[in-house]
Homo-oligomer: A and B are copies of this chain.
Amino acid sequence: MHDVARLAGVSIATVSSVINGKSGVSPKLTAQVNQAMATLDYHPDLVARSLKVGRTNVIGMVVPDVTNQFYTEAMRGVEDEARAHGYLLILGNSNEDPDHEQHLLSMLFSQRVDGVLLASSGSTAAYDRLTRRRFPIVFLDRVPHGCTERAVTVDNISAAYNATKHLVSLGHQRIAIIAGKLPLSTGSDRVEGYRKAMQEANLPILEDFFQRGDFSLESGHQCGLNLMKLPVPPTAIFSSNNKMTLGLMRSLAELSIPCPEQVSVISFDDFEWAANFSPRLTTVAQPTYEIGRQAMQMLLRIIHSANEGLVVNENILVLPAELHLRDSTAPPGL
């Protein structure tokens, strides 16, 4: 900065003014300064600036599985919105590990990010600490228990209810579920929707048909094997997320069980390939990009109002999910 000032023949304060687009610098000097910055290939030191102004213009996002397209698409929404408002995005991957999630959050906190977007791996500790401190945070996808604000998600209960009902309406009676992590809202709510639809149809929920996974491909695979090796296997399966569906389909392939002829499959989460391979999957599609965009918008509102010293109340934003009917669901086999 010194060098730039010297080369442009001005003081460093003038350079600073030019960088920050402050009014009150003559066009001539502005040009000189810009010229000098270009020739020196000068990049302002944002860490020094951040130290001074107390803001970093960086927001952090922590997701449980970066290889899951659901989160990367949400991230694109976050990113577009963040960029439009001059924020940089830092992404952290907790790998579904609450301890690592804590570590990442602590790291982001130390990095003095201006706000955090969190799809939690489970620790409600994060929720308690951050909200107590009134730190700008928005939860997405997974809403911590007891959290009644600052979150964006879909109506998981209704969505799972509708999915299960679709299975019922096709005539299925032996309907199994591959559940996700039950301590998470996305895990338990989807189970609840399933239960509701089953009860409404007066269908029993057999213990064997309630398979507990953890949202990972491997767990979906294992649950699929458990289910289809049963003496009386289900004729339809509701899978609680995309990764587990992948595992489920793998198990069906291994056991040479045709879908939907022998077993129908409906999956939470839609994905690029669901419609182009066989069987074309019936899915519950979430508005992934929009979830990210809305979450970032909410976070921006919180940050801005915090800057003004006031506390806004942002309720949970619930976006609609859509049922995409395709070929993996059909009336029970004969």
Q: Is A207 among interface residues, defined by CB-CB distance under 8 A? A: no
Task: State whether A88 touches B107 (Cβ < 8 A).
Answer: yes
| Separation of A276 and B41 alpha carbons in the complex (Å) | 51
Q: Given A51-B51, A76-B66, A106-B43, are A278 and B278 neighbors across the interface (CB < 8 Å)? A: yes
Majority SS at the chain A contact face: mixed
* A85-119 interface bits toward B, Cβ cutoff 8 Å, 1 = contact, 0 = none: 00011111100000000000011011110000000
Q: Given A67-B73, A69-B69, are A47 and B56 neighbors across the interface (CB < 8 Å)? A: yes
Interface size class of A (residues with CB under 8 A): 35 or more
> What's the least CB distance linking A219 to chain B, in Å?
14
> What's the least CB distance linking A12 to chain B, in Å?
16
Chain B contacts of A73 at CB under 8 A?
A: 67
Task: State whether A67 touches B56 (Cβ < 8 A).
Answer: no
| Separation of A75 and B276 alpha carbons in the complex (Å) | 27
- Whose C-beta in chain B lies nearest to the C-beta of A108? B88
* A257-283 interface bits toward B, Cβ cutoff 8 Å, 1 = contact, 0 = none: 000000000000000110111111000
Chain B contacts of A89 at CB under 8 A?
A: 91-92
| Separation of A111 and B48 alpha carbons in the complex (Å) | 9
| Separation of A129 and B76 alpha carbons in the complex (Å) | 28
Chain B contacts of A197 at CB under 8 A?
A: none
| Separation of A48 and B111 alpha carbons in the complex (Å) | 9
Identify which of A44, A88, A109 gathers the most chain B CB atoms within 10 Å of its CB. A88
Chain B contacts of A200 at CB under 8 A?
A: none
| Separation of A107 and B45 alpha carbons in the complex (Å) | 10
Partner of A276, one of B93, B246, B276: B246
> What's the least CB distance linking A186 to chain B, in Å?
20
Chain B contacts of A272 at CB under 8 A?
A: 217, 246
Task: State whether B279 touches A278 (Cβ < 8 A).
Answer: yes
- Whose C-beta in chain B lies nearest to the C-beta of A252? B276
Chain B contacts of A43 at CB under 8 A?
A: 106, 109-110
| Separation of A246 and B279 alpha carbons in the complex (Å) | 15
Q: Given A112-B47, A273-B277, are A91 and B90 neighbors across the interface (CB < 8 Å)? A: yes
> What's the least CB distance linking A148 to chain B, in Å?
23
A-B residue pairs in contact (CB < 8 Å), sample of 27: A41-B133, A44-B110, A46-B110, A47-B50, A47-B51, A47-B112, A48-B51, A51-B51, A58-B111, A66-B75, A66-B76, A67-B72, A69-B69, A72-B72, A76-B93, A88-B111, A90-B91, A91-B91, A246-B273, A249-B273, A250-B275, A250-B276, A253-B280, A273-B273, A273-B277, A277-B279, A278-B279
